[in-house]
A = this chain, B = another copy of it.
Amino acid sequence: MKHLVEKRLAQVQRALSDHDLDYMFLSISPDLFYLTGYSSFVSERLHLLVIPPEGRPTLVFPDFEKGIVEHLADWIDVVGWLETEDPVAFVRATLASGDRDRPIRVAISDHTRAVFLLRLQAALPQARFSLASEVLAPMRRVKDEVELRLLKEAQGRAVQALQQLVELPFAGRTEQRVAADLRRFCADRGLEEGFGVQLGAGANGAQAHLPPSDRVIQRGEPVMIDFWAAYEGYYCDCSRTLHVGPPPPEFQEIYAIMREANHAALAAVRPGASCQSIDRAARQVIDEAGYGEHFFHRLGHGIGIEIHEEPYLVEGNEMHLEPGMTFTNEPGIYLPGRFGCRIEDVVAVTATGGVSLTDYTHDIVEVE
């Protein structure tokens, strides 16, 4: 970890100079976790890592949590504020004295709460704020081997949880009840932090983003499931559409189109391809089958220490894929009032193409 923190900090400090930035401010966020492994409960108490282009960064944090930050002392100065003190004054004090009045440029973590940003803007009226993601997203969106291994492990555990779920009866139980089982099966496999699930039977599945309801699942209905959680900080994200009992021909037909779109997208993945070209590859299949208006969301999103991060696979995004990028491939077709279907895999870009990290059948899984 120490080696990795040093490497990433050095990379950020070089990038600050390149971007003509005077400081980066990171509150508790995926960005801070990425750089230092440090994470804590996001609350009204400010934790802020102040990174200058050169020299040691300083972490301003609630003093009574010093036991949690001790291990950072090798490469970061730590400054604790007491419960009755103003943390923003400590942030200002960490700046080089010449920087407290001259115009400076500060990149701040995208997730920082408005309450902190407005206070920092008031305390540093000469600072011009921009987003830390301009510097960090290019680093974070290309995963190293350790990260790829963790992402593969997370997807593998998600698949195991799903395999356990499909052994249970669906008909006669509520969406919420089935979702609760899935949550438990995930937790049993270390997929607990950041857990979320969408699970819709029949017409509920036609709403791409609907939380599980108290509606009782019926035999003869498709059930669309999408769930996610972090394993050791790295997210799984998986969707499958099951069928309670034998699937009728019409569902099979729609499902086959959606599956073909998923395959077309994967086949289009290669270094140098644009993000929008992957979205288009899937969309073209669905458009040509006459269901274009029913695929109303982007194809996918990058995934790593956040469930959604760069790169986004969406029309208009001309970013080029690079080996080590990871994202979801999740085309869907949603027929209002009837049903929806989606397959979602996590894909990694390799030196020559794309590989799915989600090892679970694309056939319709029939459940009881």
A interface residue numbers (CB < 8 A to B): 40-41, 43-44, 62-65, 67-68, 82-84, 108-118, 129-131, 133, 183-184, 187, 192, 196, 207-211, 296-298, 307-308, 312, 314-316
The contact of A111 among B62, B109, B114, B208, by CB within 8 Å, is B114
Question: If the complex has contacts A84-B316, A315-B83, are A64 and B115 also in contact, measured as CB distance less than 8 A?
Answer: no
Enumerate 11 A-B pairs (CB-CB under 8 Å) in ascending A order: A43-B307, A68-B207, A68-B209, A68-B210, A82-B296, A84-B316, A108-B114, A108-B118, A109-B114, A111-B114, A184-B187
Docked-complex contact A113 and B115, CB < 8 angstroms: no
The contact of A43 among B84, B109, B308, B314, by CB within 8 Å, is B308
Docked-complex contact A110 and B113, CB < 8 angstroms: yes
Residue numbers in B under 8 Å from A67 (CB-CB): 207, 209-210
Residue numbers in B under 8 Å from A109 (CB-CB): 114
Smallest CB–CB gap between A365 and chain B, Å? 25
Identify the closest chain B residue to A80 (Cβ).
Answer: B296
Smallest CB–CB gap between A81 and chain B, Å? 12
Give complex CA distance A64, B342 in Å.
Answer: 14
Residue numbers in B under 8 Å from A68 (CB-CB): 207, 209-211
- Most chain B beta-carbon neighbours within 10 Å: one of A114, A207, A312: A114
Residue numbers in B under 8 Å from A196 (CB-CB): 41
Give complex CA distance A113, B114 in Å.
Answer: 6
Give complex CA distance A112, B116 in Å.
Answer: 10
Question: If the complex has contacts A115-B131, A315-B84, A316-B84, are A64 and B296 also in contact, measured as CB distance less than 8 A?
Answer: yes
- Most chain B beta-carbon neighbours within 10 Å: one of A63, A110, A115: A115
Identify the closest chain B residue to A113 (Cβ).
Answer: B111
Smallest CB–CB gap between A59 and chain B, Å? 15
Give complex CA distance A114, B133 in Å.
Answer: 11
Identify the closest chain B residue to A315 (Cβ).
Answer: B84
